[in-house]
Amino acid sequence: MNLNAIGIIFSNMHDEEMHEITGSRTMGALPFGGKYRLVDFALSNMRNSSVASVGIVAKSNYQSLLEHLGSGKEWDLARKREGLFLFPPYGRSSAGIYKNKIEALNGIMTYIDRSRYDYVIITDCDTICNMDWEEPLSFHITQGADITVISYKLKAEEERKKETVYSLSPEGLVTDMKISQTAKESDIIGTNMWITGKQFLVSMIQEAMAYSLTDIEKDIFQKNLCRYKIAAWEYNGFLRKINSLNDYFKANMDILEPEARKVLFYNHGPVYTKVMDEIPVRYGHKAKVSHSLIADGCLIEGQVENSILFSAVTVEKGAVVKDSILMKGTYVGENAILQYVLSDKAVTFSNGRMLVGCEQQPIYVNKGSKL
Amino acid sequence: MQKECIAMLLAGGEGSRLGVLTKNRAKPAVYFGGKYRIIDFTLSNCVNSRIDTVGVLTQYQPHELNDYIGNGQSWDLDRANGGIHILPPYQRREASDWYTGTANAIAQNIPFIDRYKAEYVLILSGDHIYKMNYYRMLEYHKEKGADCTIAVIEVDIKEASRFGIMNTKEDNQIYEFEEKPKEPKSNKASMGIYIFCWDKLKHYLELDEKCDNSANDFGKNIIPAMLAAGEKMYAYPFYGYWKDVGTVESLWEAQMDLLNQKENILTSDMHWTIYANSPVRLPHYISSKAKVDNCIITEGCSISGNISSSVIFQGVTVEEGASVSNSIILPGAYIKKQAKIQNAIVDENTVIGEMSCIGEAAPENTEKSIPLTVIGRNVHIQDSEAVEGNMMVDVDHREVIS
């Protein structure tokens, strides 16, 4: 049985906040965890929750995203009826390209309106978790809510900047929300994932367009807390929000822990991604590897510790890679030393090169650089 | 609908010399090289050689192979016109038979080949590891104006009596074929890869079907008959890695070759990608307790033990203190603490108990062959249990490898 909802994924939001690595790709296409891309989490959650129709809204730099998604077959969304829908900017002569989510949703109104399902699930790509949408959807229905936001209660030692913080009534209704706050332990924050009814969404967007509103959170949710019934459903599993380069680095490092991998990648269903046909990893005689994730296609002759290596990374003899994340095709020459380095795709570190960052400030190396 | 050349892959053999490894699966579905199955090499060769229509002739234990092939998408063989077709024996009005031999298997599928109006037919077997451009072989076949072209590889003359040997003239025209000759005249061994002009092959298949005492085999019947009739037959020399993996020993050896940079077929000709139908798995995890030395490990594994000179397939767990050397561990095997595995092939989803000891060390005398141990699928080796060398262990029985 399909879930009674369509999915809409925004692939571009928050690009500006981490412009270093989203310069040449949209947020959704950001590589994560050795072989995945952020959009895989949003898409796999929908697939594993039997959402039959998913629309992906892309605004700019979407080439690598389109390449990654293909027909959607990896997520079982290459269907004759429904399946995966891609919405790159669709500029009409009168309106031009959309500038915000409200305009974007208005632009795909036909897709929403034609759906044969009663609800709509909307998410960005900046939150990674492994979640069953069925639970918040039934919560939304039993609460009789107009909108249900997926919330997350910060755990001990978690501190986050620029978050939306909710105040809730005992029944789980949002009574107040503050935007762009520094949030601390046990604060309840937003995740940019929400559910609403199809008809409700259609009229909400039509009204917003009529008043030229621009921001869903500020202009609609926040200003209508009394008028709309906005509920919050708390997700209490493993969840990471990625709004900065440091968030990104840390979230990757977190999955080096076996327990985190178990819940993020297998909890409610596997995370699917595009299959790359890389050959298995080869370790040489002098290889020394510890507490690391290594993707297929790598060749390891040197030392790797506490790191994540994406596919087809080469670590030559005598090289040392520590506390680093090396994306696809990175080449680490003989005797090179890297610590706290985040290298983008196809970076070359020449023999003997040494780069050392620190935990709070990993060194980011641009795509294709030769050092 | 018309195709210049289509491939027919003989995948029905029992592969009995592989013992428990082919108990429930056809030989082409046997695992190889960390994430592949034997058939991946031939299928990828086809696609890389621009052959997009492949018939796979199945008979023995086909379920796993069928599942694996699926709609052929993993090899880009899900085509609107052509693509991959599984061809089991089928019921016909006049007769219904199992495939009685390699030639009979093709003969029973004459209508399939006719449907594509193929000019040439490439006959392949699914039990060899190699990378080969069949398109070049086809060009050669056309250049020579041959009726049949047989790919050959030069083997050590001392070994030649184990193979089907092609005796050729200077221009590679075959004048004689000898199956396992006692005194070989040449070292050109048949690789079991043939290109035929389809009208010729069809003619000889039909003749062969009428012959009552024929074994309906390409090597034994079709090739000799064509030679006797004076058809133009050429040897196509192949230079490169090629290995028959029909026995436990050769299957093990060929995978040990992957650990040797020079002989690793996966890294030679990297653009000639070998495709596989692999499940999505996380990158593998090597813990701080692990040691990895000269080995191949693929996705989904979790390694805390010592791995040396071994090939580890998807989703294998090796716990702390366990050691694996000179071995091949197939998908999903779980190797518990302090277990010791050497010179072994451990099949899918086996559990190797704590402190158990599988296989034995290679003899110091290098002339002697290495005693290999094979643990069959789903076998559960108890804690502290020992399985010595040259043993084949199945769920319900054990036997000595002959």
Span A167-191, pLDDT tens digits: 999 988 999 999 989 999 999 999 9
CB-based contact A265 B264, cutoff 8 Å: no
In B, which residues are within 8 Å of A310 by CB distance?
Answer: 283
> Quick count: other Cβ atoms within 10 Å of Cβ A356?
13
Do both B127 and B178 map to the same domain? yes
Contact B160, B184 (CB under 8 A): yes
pLDDT in tens, A109-119: 999 999 999 99
Residue B264 lies in a domain: no
Percent above pLDDT 90 for chain B: 75
Pairing of strands B334-335, B317-318: parallel
Q: Give the dihedral sign, CA B22/B25/B31/B37.
A: positive
pLDDT in tens, B103-123: 999 999 999 999 999 999 999
pLDDT tier, A17 (very low <50, low <70, confident <90, very high otherwise): low
In A, which residues are within 8 Å of B280 by CB distance?
Answer: 74, 270-273, 275
Return the structure tokens found at B111. Answer: 């209508």
Do both B46 and B182 map to the same domain? yes
Where are the CATH 2.160.10.10 domain residues in chain A?
282-365
Contact A232, A188 (CB under 8 A): yes
What does the pLDDT read at residue B112? Answer: 95
pLDDT in tens, A115-138: 999 999 999 999 999 999 999 999
Do both B251 and B374 map to the same domain? no
Do both B242 and B372 map to the same domain? no
Do both B315 and B247 map to the same domain? no
Residue B13 lies in a domain: yes
Q: What is the CATH number of domain A282-365?
A: 2.160.10.10
Comparing CA positions, the residue from B83, B87, B117 lying closest to residue B5 is: B117
Helix, strand or coil for residue B380? strand
Residue B277 lies in a domain: no
How far apart CA A324 and CA A359 sit, in angstroms, is: 10
Inter-chain CB pairs, A–B, below 8 Å: 94
pLDDT in tens, A317-353: 999 999 999 999 999 999 999 999 999 999 999 999 9
Do both B236 and B321 map to the same domain? no
Do both B131 and B219 map to the same domain? yes
CB-based contact A290 B286, cutoff 8 Å: yes
Return the structure tokens found at A177. Answer: 């929300």
* Residue listed under structure tokens 């196809």: A346
* Residue listed under structure tokens 């003359």: B157
Residue B52 lies in a domain: yes
In A, which residues are within 8 Å of B267 by CB distance?
Answer: 279, 282
Q: How far is CA A294 from CA A299, A309, A310, B208, in A?
A: 10, 5, 6, 54
Of A35, A294, A296, the CB nearest to B286: A294
Residue B14 lies in a domain: yes
Select from B242, B258, B274 the last residue of a domain: B258
In A, which residues are within 8 Å of B294 by CB distance?
Answer: 283-285, 287
What does the pLDDT read at residue A93? Answer: 52
CATH number at residue B236: 3.90.550.10
Do both B247 and B309 map to the same domain? no
Give the count of domains, chain B: 2
Does pLDDT of A207 surpass 80? yes
A5-266: CATH topology is Spore Coat Polysaccharide Biosynthesis Protein SpsA; Chain A (3.90.550)
Range of the domain at B376: 285-400
What does the pLDDT read at residue B6? Answer: 96
Where are the CATH 3.90.550.10 domain residues in chain A?
5-266
CB-based contact A35 B296, cutoff 8 Å: no
Predicted structure pTM score:
0.92
Do both B309 and B238 map to the same domain? no
Of A271, A275, A281, the CB nearest to B284: A281
Comparing CA positions, the residue from B19, B11, B80 lying closest to residue B40 is: B11
| A258 touches B at CB < 8 Å | yes
Does pLDDT of A92 surpass 60? no
Do both B383 and B242 map to the same domain? no
Does pLDDT of A14 surpass 70? no
What does the pLDDT read at residue B158? Answer: 86
What does the pLDDT read at residue A13? Answer: 66
Do both B15 and B128 map to the same domain? yes
Comparing CA positions, the residue from B342, B280, B290, B353 lying closest to residue B315 is: B280
Return the structure tokens found at B170. Answer: 């200077």
Do both B144 and B59 map to the same domain? yes
Residue B274 lies in a domain: no
Return the structure tokens found at B231. Answer: 């058809």
Return the structure tokens found at A207. Answer: 């009204």
pLDDT tens over chain B, length 402 residues = 789 999 999 998 787 888 889 998 999 999 999 999 999 999 999 999 999 999 999 988 889 999 999 999 999 999 989 999 999 888 877 777 888 889 999 999 999 999 999 999 999 998 899 999 999 999 999 999 999 999 999 999 888 888 899 999 999 999 999 988 899 999 999 999 999 999 999 999 999 999 888 899 999 999 999 999 999 999 999 999 999 998 999 999 999 999 987 788 998 888 999 999 998 899 999 999 999 999 999 999 999 999 999 999 999 999 999 999 999 999 999 999 999 999 999 999 999 999 999 999 888 877 778 899 999 999 999 999 999 988 999 988 888 876
Enclosing H/E stretch for A251: helix A245-254
pLDDT tier, A64 (very low <50, low <70, confident <90, very high otherwise): confident
What does the pLDDT read at residue B14? Answer: 80
Residue B158 lies in a domain: yes
For residue B364, what is the DSSP state? S
pLDDT tier, A97 (very low <50, low <70, confident <90, very high otherwise): low
